[in-house]
Amino acid sequence: MSGTITYREAVRAAIQEAMQNDERVFLMGEDVGRYGGSYAVSKGLLEQFGGERIIDTPLSESGFTGAGIGAALNGMRPIVEIMTVNFSLLALDQIVNTAATMRYMSGGQFNVPLVIRMATGGGNQLGSQHSHSMEGWYAHVPGLKILTPATVQDAYDMLHLALKDPDPVLIFEHALLYNSKGELDKQAVPIAIGKASVHRQGKDISIITYGISLFKSLEAAEILSKEGIEAEVIDLRSLRPLDDETIMASVSKTHRVLIVDEGWKSGSVSAEIMARINEQAFYELDAPMQRVCSIEVPFPYARHLEQAALPQVDKIVTAAQKLMEEL
């Protein structure tokens, strides 16, 4: 399935192909089978692969994540789907204390080739228990790789790359991206885990972002371009490891930095990036770094309040304009 497809279809195609090519791969999670997945990603896979490889689990994130870890330790290649990042907190002990530490604590004797997919982000009016962006929490943990595919191509490629990785990989799929469309080239060479991508070249300001905020940043860059401000837009793609090389190269080119992060400011991915730039490229800066993040509140249900809490194009444009005014 190449050509223009949805993000949802790209993830499904990647799962389908992985299962066809490797009998060790299976999918497990809440409603992944008969219902076809909470976001319809796994629709049709139960009929194709049967109940032993498309496994509907009880409502116990800790239980089925632990089962996935056990399967990975025994040579399988499980894909565990957690309905939303908020619910992954119920499996925090399994992910952080077991999956992430197994290789180290066993002296390299055991590894956990586990892939965990989950929806993240706000904008769907799903309230405070389904809408937060907590990928930055997991990016804090050594032993995990954290991927945030924004494009259709990355949604497809990153799952394949994650399944080849010997260690646990968490993939955060923004819930509003599933219906988005883009080009998929199955013959393209995938960009490696840990490498950022420059989606737009610019000379005046670096906009560093990931996930759905990539598209908001690109839209903001087009508006800024009409004002004579050429923004370089970087999609991090991976939050752990971070691609310091690409970030610092852009900073050295533009000398101004704006970070767009749907997480909260305090203890965020944006804070980590700012710290790294301060450590590695401070003297390249012509102005203090700025960031656009979500407002620090539990996410509201009311649409107008939810939209006000999220980073939006107008906020990115305003922040960039103010940054360009700095001497």
Active site members: 61, 130
Give the integer Cα–Cα distance in Å for 173 and 201.
Answer: 25
Are the CB atoms for 81 and 27 separated by under 8 Å?
Answer: yes
Triad 261, 262, 264: Cα angle to 5°: 90
Contacts of 271 (CB under 8 A, 6+ apart): 265
